[in-house]
A and B are shown apart, each in its own frame.
Chain A
């Protein structure tokens, strides 16, 4: 028998293609099915083993549950199905069943001499594929392969339905992990990689025929629901079944939740391990350059966690403030923003202190009124500094995120931004939009940003990409580039967002710095920083990655190295191309970061485009915020997005920035920013 080939085809974990519905299965199947049998009774174990061998299966036996688990863990793809006894001395069979379902998601068959209805029911509710009564007949064992086929088929179908968001998510996650530990370079690499992966995934999503299995798309909302459910149950007691029930999402299966939970747990573990800095976020921020990638990831994660805990907003704010929009906080801020995007929005408003009327805009969320978050106080100053741009971009992004879902995932952020921007943002939002929208959009936006009239830009947002409003962004049409490269242009605000399209929005901000002043005024784009944060927060979970990235960028940005940061973020984000280099320094980083965050994180990592947008928004927000901080302290890259979360912080940062910027920005008077009014 060609066991190896059969096995190969049977190996569930590997090529799913084998299991595609309707796929031809090896003729030798089910021969060679890899079975793990667990039973504390040696007699039974011996008999079962013999029977399974007689069925032509490949058998591995254990007499202890712990042994079985470790065997499964060390070779995740080494088994196709597990047979377990219910009553075992070291671990309850049902507990083992749960573990396997959660960690490996393999079909499990329970066995017992006990045929009581209760026990059998328990088996069913815990997710056992089947329940065999001892003494087990060999005939019963002959058919266990059906469970393997069925499971594969279901999983594949799930993927089809939901799209491969998970994959996208997973990638960022993985990158995140790597990010944490790796230096910026890695982050960069990851970002791009993620970006690519995400793109691929997106493509594959539709193409279920590929090896990829359709995955559930863990949108921000969905993830928030998930996190809420987990928190409600308590992280230790959160089992997929209960989470599924709490979430009550049609079409979601326990397997989806289980795998997502697993990832989430890993994420939390990472967070605790990595972020020890102030609520994780700060660490991210501080990480700045080298760690952008990691930080970003952290921030993203942190944000998530934070978001989960609902602490983000506060924290973010605090952080933001604390960081002085310093990068450190920025990071956290960003993550928070991302995480709590939703929350942040509300949260943002306070931040908007700046008196923005925009905050109100923000409420529109839709438009990512980044400006919302960005208290119009950003005003002239902010505007001036590209930061605003960045922020607005961020805001825009952020705002976009709310729409996120709307925009078709790809650049939901951008789009949103654009949409929002138009409304509100005319301010820097546009920047955001543009950046967020990935470059393509940017092009359209690019102009808006470009300067001068942020307001104009903002208004031009309509095209979203254009949202970049470039109120000041005008500098660079490149703003649209987001690749913040323009950073140089931006007086400091240049958030090198230039990176990815979405991100670039942020950058444009930076670029705007010069123009910003003028632009910001009208466009309130600067405000975006606040908004951005808000948005960022909004985007949360998904933009974890982004956040981190953004934040990372920001912090790093601070020093003209923004670009670098952005790059990092970008790489982290994978896409965003913040060519933060632009930022003249402060803002750039922020802008870049946010962009990077968005772009990189968003693009790829965001499970869906939405996420990206979110991230972007977040980034933008961050950026904007940072911008402010940057402005204020030029050197405070860290400030860039100290905390997306803390819109307030952002606002203050923005304000500060604005003040520091003092350049014409004062004209901007963000208060009236409510995007609509871009007091140019």
Chain B
């Protein structure tokens, strides 16, 4: 019977999603756009997400899906955006100083620059850095907390890795600064 060809069911079907997309293409798109199972660093994952958003929008986020109240979504996102926005602002504290500060790591090109900025900000001087001994010649030692929650010495890892994994900075003072690697 030829009448079946005349009835284009799909055209009259009401769905969310742009015209020209179909379930198959959506499902295919979903498998190709899947990232690996490992939890990627937010900044890396973010880059990938940006690519997805500029790709043909077969996977546009649907209104009200998944069914989470926006209050809950927003409250978790406020935490993440502190690290993921294009300005990489991290909090800096110094032992003994009454106030915290914030620096944008993205504006610095390397360790010497950011250390100089910290020195100016908090009016102190770091010692001389060596891979083996850390900072020598000053009671102030710049440290940072990384993605995994570990406290590291500033300068131990390559600059890019530092910028991507640094959550906050702390300028430690005196005896605390020795024996770094323990949880504060």
Chains A and B form a bound pair: no
| Chain B residues packing against A (C-beta within 8 Å) | none
